Amino acid sequence: MSNILIVDDNLTNRLIIKHILDDYTEENPRTSFTTYEAKNGLEAVDIFKKERIDLVFMDIMMDEMDGIEATKEIIKINSTANVIGVSAVSDLHQEIIKAGAKACYKKPVDIHTLRNHLNYLN
């Protein structure tokens, strides 16, 4: 079982990723995920401190703490954390990668690209 944290200030965006994860587990019965959700970077860092998180899907532009700062904090906690940026603003993609994210994808997220990361978890 893997733990996945979905971080986005927009509930619809969180639900889309959750739906993709649910579809993936239906098609791969030996796979299971526990998902956690956060609506900003502060919540994400708090959850990351408390739970063993295997993969983070991180929005960049959020109130209270943006995804770039949250990624930096998460990397301080675990330098090998698996953070994937997800943002509609492609100008910020390199910034989150510099902060420690493994990759960054443009919204709307390509289902096949996202699912490719899930293949490595289980």
pLDDT of residue 7: 98
CA dist 97 and 81 (Å) reads: 12
Give yes or no for a contact between 105 and 116, defined as CB atoms under 8 angstroms apart: no
Return the SS3 of 63.
Answer: coil
Identify the DSSP state of 109. Answer: P
Quick: pLDDT tens for 28-55: 888 888 999 999 999 999 999 999 999 9
> Which three-class secondary structure string do you get for 4-27?
EEEECCCHHHHHHHHHHHHHHHHH
The CATH superfamily holding the domain 2-49+64-119 is Response regulator (3.40.50.2300)
So where are the chain's domains? 2-49+64-119
pTM of the model: 0.93
Q: How many CA atoms lie within 13 A of 24 on its CB side?
A: 24
